[in-house]
Amino acid sequence: MGFIIPAGRTSSVTWEGKIFQVQTEFVTRPNPKAISSIILNGKLIHKVEKTWKGEIKAEDQEEIEQFLKKEHEKVARALKKNPFDFLSGGKEDFQTQVQKLSDLKEIENPFILMYDGSLLFPDKKDEVFLSKFSKTIAQALRLSSALADSSRLGEISAGILETPPDKIIWVYYNDRVWAAFLKKGFLVDEVLQKMGKLIVETYE
């Protein structure tokens, strides 16, 4: 009996409300290898390939099946440990974007959230604003589409959250929420325009 390609493996990893699918298959051409595809929202966002050490032989059937299993589990563990490595906007990108926002004199302490209020950057879970503001911003964002006076900057949604003495302005674009504390003496609309323009530029 000849070599039979092992059945593929599938599993899921949940992180910050998002479900990643990990699908690993073994291919024989052009070179034998295990290919792990990471899928988010139906889209392929990353691939990991591991080449088989030699030729394909029927007597290696069990060893190859274990190889496929091992590679699948390895990728799933890596995804669970540090999903930033597999996102198109990785941790280094977030850091660059936050740094650019920090250069605006009108704001301070910028941060990036997911739509549900989960903090993407900085990734310190004990930040004061995380528990105090992020969920509220997420609620405001969900409500903004129903408000007549919600601000629209092209494809960008924007708003302000006032929790005296703080004023937090936020911009929603490309499935991310950029937020920052507004310094005193600056006009909200003007600063939102600057933030929106800067954020869009980071994707061009």
Does residue 2 lie in a domain region?
no
Give the pLDDT of residue 145. 46
Domain of 123 in residue numbering reads as: 91-201
**Cα 141–Cα 146–Cα 148 angle in degrees, nearest 5:** 110
Give the pLDDT of residue 197. 87
Give the pLDDT of residue 148. 36
58 and 144 in a single domain? The answer is no
Domain boundary among 52, 86, 120: 86
User: Which pairing describes strands 176-182 and 107-113: parallel, antiparallel, or unpaired?
Assistant: antiparallel
User: Under a CB-based contact definition with an 8 Å cutoff, are residues 175 and 87 in contact?
Assistant: no
95 and 79 in a single domain? The answer is no
- Other beta carbons less than 10 A from residue 137's beta carbon: 22
Q: Does position 60 have pLDDT exceeding 90, yes or no?
A: no
| Lookup result for tokens 């005296």 | 164
Instruction: Name every residue whose Cβ is closer than 8 Å to that of residue 44 and which is 6 or more positions away in sequence.
Output: 37, 38
Does residue 3 lie in a domain region?
no
Q: How confident is the model at residue 96 (pLDDT cuts 50, 70, 90)?
A: confident
Domain boundary among 34, 61, 86: 86
Distance of alpha carbon 199 from alpha carbon 39, whole angstroms: 25
Does residue 73 lie in a domain region?
yes
197 and 112 in a single domain? The answer is yes
User: Under a CB-based contact definition with an 8 Å cutoff, are residues 182 and 167 in contact?
Assistant: yes
Residue-wise pLDDT for 116-140, tens only, equals 666 777 755 445 555 566 667 766 6
CATH number of the domain that residue 115 is part of: 3.30.450.30
Share of the chain above pLDDT 70, in %: 74
192 and 101 in a single domain? The answer is yes
User: Quick check: helix, strand or coil at residue 104?
Assistant: coil
Q: How confident is the model at residue 36 (pLDDT cuts 50, 70, 90)?
A: very high
Does residue 145 lie in a domain region?
yes
169 and 103 in a single domain? The answer is yes
Residue-wise pLDDT for 137-183, tens only, equals 766 665 554 443 444 444 557 888 787 888 888 888 766 788 889 99
User: Under a CB-based contact definition with an 8 Å cutoff, are residues 139 and 161 in contact?
Assistant: no
Which alpha helices (DSSP H) does 103-157 contain, by range?
A: 128-129, 135-144
User: What is the distance, to the nearest Å, from the Cα of residue 41 to the centroid of all Cα atoms in its chain?
Assistant: 12
98 and 193 in a single domain? The answer is yes
Give the pLDDT of residue 74. 93
User: Under a CB-based contact definition with an 8 Å cutoff, are residues 131 and 137 in contact?
Assistant: no
Question: 153-170 b/e with 16+ CB inside 10 Å = b?
Answer: beebbbbbbeeeeebbbb
Give the number of domains in the chain: 2
Domain boundary among 63, 86, 109: 86
Share of the chain above pLDDT 90, in %: 23
Does residue 4 lie in a domain region?
no
Distance of alpha carbon 168 from alpha carbon 129, whole angstroms: 10
96 and 188 in a single domain? The answer is yes
Give the pLDDT of residue 173. 76
Q: Mean pLDDT, the chain, as a whole number? A: 79
Residue 90 in tokens: 């990785």
Does residue 1 lie in a domain region?
no
